[in-house]
Structure 1
Amino acid sequence: MSEWMSAEQAALRLGVKAATLYAYVSRGTLTRRKADGRSVFNRAEIEELAGRGRPRRQAGTTELVIESAVTMLGADRHYYRGRDAVGLAATWRLEQTATWLWTGAEAGAPEVWETAPDALAAAREAQRGLSPDVLPLERLQVIVTALAVADPVRYNLEPAAVAQTGKGLMAGMVDALPSEASPDGRDRGLHARLWRKLSGAGAGERLADVLRFALVLLADHELAASTLAARVAASVRADPYAVVTTGLGTTSGALHGGASLGVESLLAEVGEPGRAAQAMGERLRRGERIAGFGHMVYRAGDGRGDALLERVRQAVPGHPRLAVADAVLDEARRRALPAMNIDFPLGLLTHLAGMPRGAGEAIFGVARTAGWLAHAMEEYAKPTRLRLRAAYTGPLE
């Protein structure tokens, strides 16, 4: 008898749906590998799990399983429609990634994504009264709302229409951000335009390609908090702009997209390698968590973060601020903190590139818009809405 079982056999033996089976993989309960292009599972693990019953969820968390063909979480990384996202990030742009997530088809020749001139003007005008200190993520929320008002056909929820809306929406999110940089016609890709909006004077141009790499990695991550919120909105037929606004609002949470802001603050406070121990120690003494470390899914380490950090190192070898990051990583190991996650190199990227405070959140929001819309398309195709139930714990009269 083979030591490996097909997904169908494993799900039947455990009495669960395929989505639940892959949820066990993402939590590290089961081992999965590829054989002849198909997923197979270790028979001994399946039998052991069948004997002791379904695994209990982690204390303090609530897990909801929704069937989706968009993204699967592996042991240390994620897969977009079955393809390794870290591998795709080596060469793909955000536009290609979004097209793949939305349609399951590879994009053809490079296409310049743009939004309607009147919509772009409205999005820029909507920010006129904002303080210069407003965080980029908060600007994106204003921008998306203005773009929505300027789009009279936003309620067309057919897949092709949503994809077309997504192209203009993502282009508008980038192009409506304020910038003092001069336009550059050499590269019209979203990552190049976002780089010109956010990077500081004198930032190494090689870091622009690191931004491209990061955008691909961040485009989706299964049912993260913002994606679940976006799917709930889509399930009641909220339009694509409302879906993205919902995702952006959830992204601002310190335990989600806002974690990179915590990394930016830490690196700025440390300043020089010798201060890492003191700065981190003071945070821990105050009962604060150290942003950029630990992940609910990747217990042994986040392969996305490792890949992004390596890209940063290759882009600016010997940069003096890398020594600060290394000191923080060393101190984290000395204090036995959880493994680094992708928020740490994202915060480091914005720090090295001289980007404004909160730029990491904006990068996350622009990238994750691709994933939110992919999940929205799945919900638009379903006849029912998502309706969670509460376990009431209040008084009874």
Structure 2
Amino acid sequence: MEWIDAATAAERLGVKPATLYAYVSRGVLRRRHGEDGRRSFFDAAEVEQLARRGQPRNPPPELVIESAITALGTDRPYYRGIDALDLAKSSPFEAVAAWLWGVDEEDAPPPWQGDQEGIRAAAEAQGSLPEGLLPLDRLQVITTVLGATDSLRYQLDPASVAATGRRLIAGLVDALPAQPTVDAPATRLDRAAQETPAVESAAASAGILPGVSWRAGGVSSGELIAARLWGRLTPRAPDPALVSALQTALVLLADHELAASTLAARVAASAKADPYAVVLTALGVLGGPLHGGASYGAERLLAEVAEPSHASRVITERVRRGERIPGFGHSIYKNGDSRATVLFEILIHAAPGHFKLDVAQAVRKELRRRRLPDPNIDFALATLTSLSGMVPGAGEAIFAVARTAGWLAHAMEEYAKGTLLRPRASYIGPPPR
């Protein structure tokens, strides 16, 4: 069997590369990934057969958007050509956000600080909100207020959008209510972590990004977004190993090509909506149970399993009721989500023997016994929030803060294009009269 690359296949068919991948998504063509996981190859005979037959007739309308931000491999994303799993192990979230935005922050990164007046206004706006409100709901209020108080929000050139992104992400975190810290008995892990500040080490190791020579410089671990977010989501004193795991999760979740919320963000940006409006649009989509809200469903699943031995009963009851098991399976990664694998590896090392980790492992074992799909990033994220004693819905908040970087990267592409995204419907209603 002869395999040809995407450019050759597109040329033989006389179509754009975007159309070629549309054929793949509709099952018209098969493809395989190269050894590097980035390049796509096609069966030459199948391409030739399609070329002789002509393009598929009356194809269903499909929105295909060209983007240089994220490519999806067989089990992981690649951010501007670099394996996101490698970035998650070696670079802080701030550096990865800059890489997604395509900006060079040279030797000293700009400060990630929100506008203090806007943060105060956003904090005050939450004063009348109901107690127990999920963090994602608060983030929508915060985004609205931060946008209303930012006079620079209409500057849509790349440098300005990147600066807005730093202010916005920092504001999203700092305007969330701080959790009252409670003392917890020191563990072996805590004592070891005092000698090895994992987050600061991760920041100092950044620099594998071509064109982004970000270094920790004078930035302390406490100033990083991951460390600041920790205190907004859990009353537990910072555990450096778990804060480092949170840092990893932020990088793994920073972008995922045209997920539902990202598509919504791009549509808003194509209409020249400002970055705050773009993020607010995406936040409205993110909380759906088939998207970012899946982590909340996984949190509730873990809460149901009071003991590892209860995993079989809980899963059985859900299957009997015909309910889906949140946090397992993925529409893109049919053979497993390696983002989840990486995050679980870090959690196992960070909290060996932790009771909540045993519960999560029991659920995974039960799903394997039933030959159900492998866990995805949402279940790994829920495990992180459970281990860290975070508030309900913390996974959605982590997802939202992380994905804001990706949403704004996609917004930048739409701002540069200057054309409105306007898909057409395939009308199936009664004939017009």
Q: TM-score w.r.t. structure 1 length? A: 0.91
Conserved 8 A contact 2:242-2:350 = yes
- Are 2:318 and 1:317 aligned? no
For each residue in 1:45-92, what CA deviation from the matched residue of structure 2 results, as whole angstroms up to 9, or x when unmatched? 243254257999xxxx98531000010000100000000001011121
Cα RMSD after superposing both structures: 2.6
2:114 touches 2:168 (CA, 8 Å); kept in 1? yes
Change (3 A) 1:186 1:310: closer
Structure 1: gaps of 5 or more residues: none
Instruction: Tell me the distance in 2 between the aligned counterparts of 1:21 and 1:104.
Output: 30
Q: How many residues align?
A: 388
- Corresponding residue of 1:139: 138
Deviations 1:238-259 (A, max 9, x none): 1100000011110010000000
Contact 1:22 1:72 in 2 (8 A): no
* Cα deviation digits, residues 142-200 of structure 1 (max 9, x gap): 00000001012211111111111111000000000001357xx7520111100121123
Match of 1:102 in 2: 101
SS in 1 for 2:34: strand
Query: How far did residue 303 of structure 1 move?
Result: 1.0
| Rounded Cα–Cα distance in structure 1 between residues aligned with 2:24 and 2:246 | 29
> Which residue pairs with 2:168 in the alignment?
169
**C-alpha contact (below 8 Å) 1:273/1:324 kept by paired residues:** yes
Q: For 2:137 and 2:400, how far apart are their aligned partners in 1?
A: 10
- Measure how far apart 1:104 and its partner are: 5.5
Q: What is residue 228 of structure 1 aligned with on the other side?
A: 263
Q: 1:46 to 1:16 in 2, by over 3 A?
A: farther
The answer to whether 1:262 aligns with 2:263 is no
For the 8 Å contact 1:199–1:355, the answer to whether it is kept is: yes
State how far apart, in whole Å, the 2-side matches of 1:293 and 1:202 are. 30
State the Cα distance separating 1:311 from its structure 2 match: 1.1
Q: What residue identity is the alignment partner of 1:386?
A: L
Q: Which residue matches 2:66?
A: 67
Q: Secondary structure at the match of 1:187?
A: helix
Percent identity of paired positions between Structure 1 and Structure 2? 55
How many angstroms apart in 2 are the aligned matches of 1:106 and 1:24?
Answer: 39
Q: Is the 8 A contact 1:25 1:73 kept in 2?
A: no
Question: In structure 2, what is the Cα distance between the partners aligned to 1:128 and 1:29?
Answer: 54
Whole-angstrom distance in 1 between the partners of 2:150 and 2:328: 40
- Give the conservation status (yes or no) of the 8 Å contact 2:260–2:291: yes
Q: Is the 8 A contact 1:81 1:104 kept in 2?
A: no
The answer to whether the aligner puts 1:200 opposite 2:201 as a matched pair is no
Contact 1:112 / 1:188 at 8 angstroms: preserved in 2? Answer: no
- Distance of 2:54 and 2:376 partners within structure 1: 28
CA distance in 1, matches of 2:348, 2:238: 14
> Taking structure 1 as reference, are residues 62 and 117 closer, same or farther at Cα in structure 2, changes over 3 Å only?
same
Report Cα offsets for 1:83-106 as digits up to 9, x if no partner.
000101112111111110111546
Of 85-94 and 23-32, more deviation after overlay is shown by 23-32
Q: Return closer, same or farther for 1:161/1:111 CA change in 2, 3 Å cut-off.
A: closer
1:40 Cα deviation after fit: 4.9
Task: Please give the TM-score of this superposition, normalised by the length of structure 2.
Answer: 0.83
- Residues 166 and 373 of structure 1 are in contact (CA less than 8 Å); yes or no, is this contact kept in structure 2? yes
2:316 maps to 281
Does residue 1:250 correspond to 2:285, yes or no? yes
> Is the Cα contact below 8 Å between 2:63 and 2:423 reproduced in 1?
no
Structure 2: stretches of 5+ with no match in the other structure: 182-219
Mean Cα deviation higher: 141-150 or 185-194: 185-194
- Give the equivalent residue in structure 2 for 1:33: 34
CA distance in 2, matches of 1:179, 1:71: 33
Deviation of the 1:319 alpha carbon: 1.1
Residue aligned with 2:223, SS: coil
Query: For the structure 1 residues 389 and 242, does the alpha-carbon distance in structure 2 shift closer, same or farther, using more than 3 Å as the test?
Result: same
Counterpart amino acid of 1:172? G
**Does the 8 Å contact 1:7/1:39 carry over to 2?**
no
Q: How far off its partner does 1:131 sit?
A: 1.9
Please give the alpha-carbon distance, in whole angstroms, between the structure 2 residues aligned to 1:66 and 1:93: 29
- Tell me if structure 2 keeps the 8 A contact 1:25–1:74: no
SS at match of 1:222: coil
Amino acid at match of 1:361: E
Q: Relative to structure 1, is the Cα distance of residues 39 and 79 closer, same or farther in structure 2, using a 3 angstrom cutoff?
A: closer
